[in-house]
């Protein structure tokens, strides 16, 4: 049903980048805020994408059928949120939170190593940093020895995660203190991953 509906959508269903499908646009809306059919239609119209409301309703139903969005009935409307099939990975969530800190590129990478090592209790591979959406041109971190790297690679192999051949692995560099900031990043990542930010009472520093 979804593939059929996709082929029937006009080219206006693309953003300025023609490779960006309407489903990606809608999912991005829903990641920021859960919306009703009317809410999605309004956002599309604000972005210059005009569709009949019935078309949007059918499209959202099709996305729900394949798990890309979740449909919840909140009378008198149905509300849509990202489905399990399009949830961000833990790497993407952590990377997004790190980028919000507005650090330099090298500091972002250092912070990523600290956060992921604290989360996984093992050496962190270059590929994992890239999965955070970061560009590790230089890494000011401790290079993991052969034993630490092998232990981490074995763990990831059991999780069916493929790594580039001879991908280097890293540990936090002694003397770098990102403990407080990494705690904030991981807390925010957890809240975002479980869509639980609305349960938190913000303090004056937030």
- Domain 2-86 bears CATH identifier 3.30.497.10: no
The number of beta carbons lying within 10 Å of the beta carbon of residue 9 is 15
Q: At 155, phi and psi to the nearest 5?
A: -60, -45
* pLDDT, tens digit (0-9, with 9 covering 90-100), for 55-112: 898 888 888 888 888 888 888 888 988 776 667 788 988 999 999 999 998 999 999 9
Both tokens assigned to 85: 């099939």
Long-range contacts of 62-70 (CB under 8 A, 24+ apart): 62/1, 62/2, 62/5, 63/2, 63/23, 63/26, 63/27, 65/1, 65/2, 66/2, 68/23, 68/27, 69/26, 69/27, 69/30
Residue-range domain boundaries for the chain? 2-86, 90-195
CB-count exposure of residue 126 (10 Å: 0-12, 13-18, 19+): middle
Burial label, 197 (beta-carbon count in 10 A; 0-12, 13-18, 19+): exposed
Per-residue pLDDT of the chain (206 residues; tens, 9 = 90+): 444 443 344 434 333 333 346 777 888 788 778 889 999 999 988 888 888 889 898 888 888 888 888 888 888 888 988 776 667 788 988 999 999 999 998 999 999 999 999 999 999 999 999 999 998 888 889 999 999 999 999 999 988 888 998 999 999 998 888 989 999 999 988 887 777 777 888 765 55
Cβ neighbourhood burial of 88 (10 Å; 0-12, 13-18, 19+): middle
Q: Which residues is 82 bridged to in the sheet? A: 69
């Amino acid at each position: 049903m979804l593939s059929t509906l996709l082929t029937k959508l006009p080219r206006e269903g693309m953003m300025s980048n023609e490779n960006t499908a309407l489903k990606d646009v809608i999912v991005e809306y829903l990641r920021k805020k859960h919306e009703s059919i009317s809410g999605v239609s309004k956002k599309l119209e604000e972005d210059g994408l005009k569709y009949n409301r019935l078309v949007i309703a059918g499209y959202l139903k099709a996305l729900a059928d394949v798990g890309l969005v979740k449909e919840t009935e909140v009378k008198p409307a149905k509300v849509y949120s990202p489905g399990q099939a399009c949830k961000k990975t833990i790497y993407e969530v952590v990377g997004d939170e790190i980028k919000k800190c507005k650090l330099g590129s090298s500091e972002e990478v250092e912070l990523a190593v600290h956060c992921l090592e604290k989360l996984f209790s093992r050496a962190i591979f270059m590929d994992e940093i890239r999965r955070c959406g970061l560009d590790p041109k230089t890494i000011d971190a401790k290079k993991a020895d052969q034993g630490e790297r092998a232990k981490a690679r074995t763990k990831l192999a059991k999780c069916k995660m493929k790594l580039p051949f001879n991908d280097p692995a890293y540990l936090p560099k002694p003397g770098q203190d990102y403990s407080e900031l990494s705690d904030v990043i991981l807390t925010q990542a957890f809240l975002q991953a479980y869509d639980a930010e609305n349960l938190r009472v913000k303090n004056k520093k937030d």
